Amino acid sequence: MDRVALRGLKARGHHGVFPKEREEGQTFIVDLVLGLDTRPAAADDDLARTVHYGIVAEEVVAIVQGEPVNLIETLAERIAQACLKHEGVEEVEVCVHKPDAPITVPFDDVTVTIIRSRV
């Protein structure tokens, strides 16, 4: 299976379990790896025969900016399901970063990574 990756999609969302997170919001970063067969698109040099990663990026940002959820696990699942709706996408790996998570000790990042497929 071929891979199309989008890295570092940034959007502000209001996800989290604490009131401050819901009120103030924070930046979330999303990395995607879409699994699909790119041979038909390459053979015909035709965008319609592959995934339009610009549209996927816009959809992901809309999900992050959309309805708040408590957990980034839930956010990752919503993103994965949206990606799998695209024709040809057989598998997706979603990594949601929450670099400003409310943790009381020094840290660089918090991530949740999930892999989902049509199977």
The predicted pLDDT at position 85 comes to 97
Q: Is residue 98 annotated as part of the catalytic site, yes or no?
A: yes
Average pLDDT over residues 33-53: 97
The predicted pLDDT at position 67 comes to 98
Average pLDDT over residues 21-25: 97
pLDDT in tens, 60-77: 999 999 999 999 999 999
Counting beta carbons within 10 angstroms of the beta carbon of residue 112, is it exposed (0 to 12), middle (13 to 18) or buried (19 or more)? middle
Q: Which long-range CB contacts under 8 A does 114-117 form with residues at least 24 apart?
A: 114/73, 114/76, 114/77, 114/80, 115/91, 116/77, 116/80, 116/81, 116/84, 116/91, 116/92, 117/35, 117/84, 117/90, 117/91, 117/92
The predicted pLDDT at position 25 comes to 97
The answer to whether residue 119 scores a pLDDT higher than 80 is no
- H helices then E strands: how many in the chain? 4, 4
Taking the alpha carbons at both ends of the chain, their separation in whole angstroms is 14
Q: Which of 10, 20, 85, 98 is catalytic?
A: 98
Q: What percent of the chain has pLDDT over 90?
A: 98
